[in-house]
Homo-oligomer: A and B are copies of this chain.
Amino acid sequence: MGVSTRSGSSRLQSVNPSNKQQSECNKCNSHSCCIGDGLTPEQFSSLEKIIHLRGPFQPGETIFKMEDPFKSLYIVRSGSVKTEGIMSNGTQLVEGFYFAGDIFGLEAIGDSHYRHDAVALEPTWVCTLPYAQLETLCSFTPRLQHRLFNLLGQKIRQTNSIIGRGRYRKADERALFFLECLYKRNIGKKDGGRENIRLPMTKGDIASYLALCPESLSRSLRKLEDRGIIQNHKNAIEVLDLGTAFNDICK
């Protein structure tokens, strides 16, 4: 869930759709992004007909809420999104982070409503994929069906990898693993010569996502900093020696 561990479509550059026209995704030549990979032009235009661009959402603005009836899947076009649910005791918890090219809302498939809120972390544009129409389109387009099945399988694997195995890790390892995931997505995005992981979410959000209290995360980051692995900033983390540390700490 959330922070992607894949490599393929994760390099999608974020494109700022400043005009409300359909803008070109520099991977797929379409705003339908990664889901349209490998379609013929005709299939592509069918897909484009059902997709809508929505935005901009301002930081903290809600894209959909738990109570909303499930109508659409979403793809992040630019910006970033968190999803957060609520425990039976009332505490909120962050369930995923999504960046440009990521699809979200998959958890709601087969359900009547969403199970969590989706909130923009920064100025954000999204594409909506009306699900009923998408499913119909899939039944005429084996390639699209194949893509969607694969995305769902991938989502399950990601959840197992990050959430599932994260449970067995200690706080330091969780923090490091999280950074590793973000880092993989940010390859090539060097700010001023140094490799930076930008953090559009708060540290509190990260802590919640990792099932840690904010204090524990803060201490873990401090430890990593003391070891010379990272440098901790307010809205970013500077990467000094992530690779070897990762192999070292997470074995």
Q: Which residues of A contact B (CB under 8 A)?
A: 1, 85, 87-89, 91, 93, 95, 106-111, 115, 135-136, 138-139, 142, 145-146, 148-157, 159-160, 163-168, 211, 250-251
Contacts and interface: CB of A to CB of B under 8 A. Distances in A.
A72 to B, nearest CB: 14
A146 B132 CA distance: 10
Given A142-B139, A165-B87, A109 B153 contact: yes
A155 to B, nearest CB: 6
Nearest to A155: B156
Contacts of A153: 106-111, 152
B106 A1 contact: no
Nearest to A167: B211
Contacts of A115: 157, 160
Contacts of A164: 1, 95, 159, 163
Interface of A is mostly: helix
Contact of A1 (B109, B148, B160): B160
Q: What copy number does this chain have within its complex?
A: 2
Contacts of A1: 156, 160, 164
Contact of A159 (B163, B165, B168): B163
Q: Choose among A91, A146, A153 the residue with the greatest number of B CB atoms under 10 Å from its CB.
A: A153
19 contacts: A1-B164, A85-B160, A88-B250, A95-B160, A107-B153, A109-B156, A110-B152, A110-B153, A111-B153, A115-B160, A135-B142, A135-B146, A138-B145, A139-B145, A148-B149, A149-B152, A159-B159, A159-B163, A159-B164
Contacts of A156: 1, 106-107, 109, 152, 155-156, 159
